[in-house]
Amino acid sequence: MPHRLTRWGLGLAAGLCLAQAPEGPRILRPADQSALPAGPLSVIARGDEKSQLLLDGKPLEAKRPFATVLTATLAPASGPHTLTLATAGAEQKVQFFAGPKPPAGFQPYRPHPPAAATCDTCHAVKDGEWGFKGTVLSENCFGCHNQKTFATKHSHNEETLAECQLCHDPHGSTEKFHLKMTREIACKQCHG
Ligand code: HEC
Ligand code: HEC
Ligand code: HEC
Ligand code: HEC
């Protein structure tokens, strides 16, 4: 049905802007205002060669799986914390709370299990850029998630679903099922 496809096509084009993470240096995990259980926290940031991560103002020793990609595993004390990504004069800050009884305003954040799926489960450096393993993102997901039970939870065909990151944040989320935005907005990307 060409008419419906066109509508979806347009909706998808508009939705892509909505779905894409803002360009530039950014802390990708955890989300701002996250409440996290006590215990190790795997941080992910996109910066440049000189970017630095700071926890509560103190520089962190970050690993760089690629020149512009920073990761660190923290063990923050219970309480509120500020994570900063400092890049050439600009700073991005994320507030998070570790441990039980987060104050109002902090949303429980669930990381995608970082020990089960490590960076190179999904990522690879390709043509000198930080990119993805394989040609289709979903190849990496079905190594662990059952494609059969998966289909019963999704009302879409395989083609529509192939780009998992349209709806899911593969690093984790404060939304159920690691959705990257509220369910309502996730659907409106294409179903205007
Ligand atoms: C389960 C798969 C998966 C795992 C595991 C994963 N990522 Fe990602 N990552 C993605 C996807 C998918 C995107 C694209 C997200 C989007 O487009 O919204 C992404 C985006 C990124 C980006 C932004 C790239 C850009 O140019 O905007 C960086 C940086 C990144 N990941 C680093 C990491 C690091 C470091 C780790 C390990 C600590 C990691 N990722 C683990 C799937 C994964
Ligand atoms: C069009 C949006 C959308 C796309 C694209 C999408 N998902 Fe989902 N996914 C959802 C929603 C919504 C739920 C919650 C379903 C429910 O309420 O039971 C979900 C649930 C899940 C779950 C948890 C339920 C289960 O079956 O275990 C997994 C895992 C999952 N998705 C993986 C994936 C993977 C892998 C891809 C890419 C191949 C993908 N999703 C693509 C929207 C999407
Ligand atoms: C190395 C194994 C592995 C890979 C690869 C992997 N995951 Fe997962 N994923 C897990 C585990 C373990 C969990 C936590 C247990 C669960 O909820 O099923 C999880 C949880 C999830 C959930 C939340 C399920 C829920 O019920 O809330 C979503 C959504 C999800 N993964 C999406 C993806 C997507 C999208 C990809 C590919 C980009 C991917 N995963 C790749 C192991 C993996
Ligand atoms: C990436 C674009 C995209 C997103 C995001 C999206 N859909 Fe769809 N949806 C489609 C397309 C294309 C079809 C028709 C082809 C198919 O079944 O995949 C469809 C079909 C459907 C159908 C089958 C019934 C029908 O009208 O033909 C349902 C139900 C549905 N979507 C619900 C949802 C829900 C609920 C969400 C949010 C979790 C969602 N969609 C998000 C693109 C999308």
**Tens digits of residue pLDDT in 83-125:** 999 999 899 999 999 999 999 999 999 999 988 899 999 999 9
Distance 162 CA to ligand 3 centre (A): 15
Q: How many CB atoms lie within 10 A of CB 29?
A: 22
Query: What pLDDT shows up at residue 154?
Result: 82
Distance 187 CA to ligand 2 centre (A): 12
Distance 141 CA to ligand 2 centre (A): 11
CATH of the domain at 31: 2.60.40.10
**Quick one: average pLDDT of 2-12?**
35
Using the predicted structure, report yes or no on whether residue 42 has a pLDDT greater than 60. Answer: yes
* Of 19 and 142, the one with more pLDDT: 142
Average pLDDT, the chain: 86
183 lines ligand 4 (CB under 6 A): yes
Q: Is the peptide bond before 30 cis (omega within 30 degrees of 0)?
A: yes
Q: Which domain holds residue 132?
A: 2-188
Query: How many structural domains compose the chain?
Result: 1
